[in-house]
Amino acid sequence: MKPLTLTEAVSAEFAPETTYLNTSTCGLLPRRGVEAVKAAAELNATGTPGGGDSYDAVVAARASYGRLVGVSPERVAVGSSVAVHVGMIAASLPTGGEVLCPEGDFASVVNPFVVRGDLKVRYVPLEDLAESVRPETEMVAFSAVQSADGRVADLSAVRAAAAAHGARTLVDSTQAVGWLPFDAGSFDYTVAGGYKYLMAPRGVSFLTVAEDAQEALTPLHAGWMSGEDIWASTYGPVRQLARSARRFDEPPPFLPYVGVEQSLAFLLEVGIENVRDHNLALAARYREGLASLGHTPVPADSVVVATAGLAHRLDALTAADIVASVRAGNLRASFHLYNTGADVDRVLDVLAG
């Protein structure tokens, strides 16, 4: 059978009833994921085994996410939010350690370090991040793609600078993974919320831990599911924590993982490179259209397009059934595989008045 094109595959899974340009806030769920969650919930409602109490979807999602970001499943921990993962990492740092962050990065990446109260959190412009790493820097914590305006970090430069000074790296890939090919194995820790470009239900997040960084973390959420033998770990102290990154699991909510299992399978089927090319082409078309209207978006080779001076037009877009957002004073549009050129033309028509 001839493989489906991206357009054919998307048409089978999505039928937006709005012009939806807001994946950086929340991605749309593929039909297969919706049906899988509904089926699991029905089993749960009737007491039938294999419903909302099944761990199988978590196992499958862990493996698929590892494939997506280029690491083995043994390096992937699961949970429900980025802030929880980052909080565990923040708790592992020594008193007085310096954490280097970009100015204006997403709060979930920064605040867990700040609330410790005994760490030195230093902020620099994103473009200066790599050159600002110094010998006393304990960790560099940053987003691969900025939520506020779509700017993309120089991942290789930051990685090299951190290695040169002995600093660990934490990358939030929430606004990247799902459209941008991403090598999680190049960093000590990476985190990702699943409900944006991974198109998962809310309540799904992933943490990757490099093998040589594993011993630096205390598994603060270690319950029975973090045991090497899960079913021998249900009562009393866990005798043997998992040897893999599963020891860092936050106990996952099963139903959202039923959904993300399907979303990840779909992304792997269509190929991240194909999604990237599709999304970036739409973003470039939108940027060109904005320029023709006299507007200058924030420079970024990204699927997230933020434009100053247009925040006041959000109401007009909403009235036209166009879903976008305002972040950091900018009108933000974000493109994913279910968007089309017609979506771009429609939003430009409204902005043109």
Q: Give this prediction's pTM.
A: 0.96
Same domain, 308 and 346: yes
Predicted pLDDT of residue 125:
98
Residue 39 lies in a domain: no
Asked whether residue 17 falls in the same domain as residue 117, the answer is no
Residues 124 and 226 in one domain: yes
Q: Which of 269, 296, 319 is the last residue of a domain?
A: 269
Are 124 and 255 members of one domain? yes
Residue 329 and residue 205 in one domain: no
Domain boundary among 269, 302, 329: 269
Classify residue 1: in a domain, yes or no.
no
Cβ atoms 351, 313 nearer than 8 A: yes
Is residue 227 located within the same domain as residue 318?
A: no
Say whether both 263 and 286 belong to one domain: no
| The two structure tokens encoding residue 247 | 């020891």
Could you give the angle at which helices 254-270 and 272-292 cross, rounded to 10 degrees? 80
Task: Note down the domain range covering 292.
Answer: 6-29+271-352
The structural domain count of the chain equals 2
Distance (Å) of CA 151 to CA 131, 248, 328: 17, 30, 13
Contact 252, 224 (CB under 8 A): no
Q: What is the CATH number of the domain that holds 160?
A: 3.40.640.10
**DSSP secondary structure string, 136-157?**
TEEEEEEESB-TTT-PBP-HHH
Q: Give a yes or no: residue 125 inside a domain.
A: yes
Cα torsion 296, 299, 300, 306: sign: negative
Residues 248 and 291 in one domain: no
Residues 231 and 346 in one domain: no
Q: Is residue 276 part of a domain?
A: yes
The domain boundary residue, chosen from 248, 269, 290: 269
Q: What is the pLDDT along the chain (353 residues), one digit of tens a residue?
A: 566 788 999 999 999 999 999 999 999 999 999 999 999 999 989 988 776 677 899 999 999 999 999 999 999 999 999 999 999 999 999 999 999 999 999 999 999 999 999 999 999 999 999 999 999 999 999 999 999 999 999 999 999 999 999 999 999 999 999 999 999 999 999 999 999 999 999 999 999 999 999 999 999 999 999 999 998 999 999 999 999 999 999 999 999 999 999 999 999 999 999 999 999 999 999 999 999 999 999 999 999 999 999 999 999 999 999 999 999 999 999 999 999 999 999 999 999 98
Quote the pLDDT of residue 266. 97
Within-domain flag for 168: yes
Own/partner pairs, 161-165, CB within 8 angstroms, 24+ separation: 161/130, 161/131, 161/133, 162/133, 162/137, 164/133, 165/133, 165/134, 165/135, 165/137
User: Is the domain of 109 the same as that of 217?
Assistant: yes
CA atoms within 13 A on the CB side of 154: 13
- Residues 265, 286 within the same domain: no
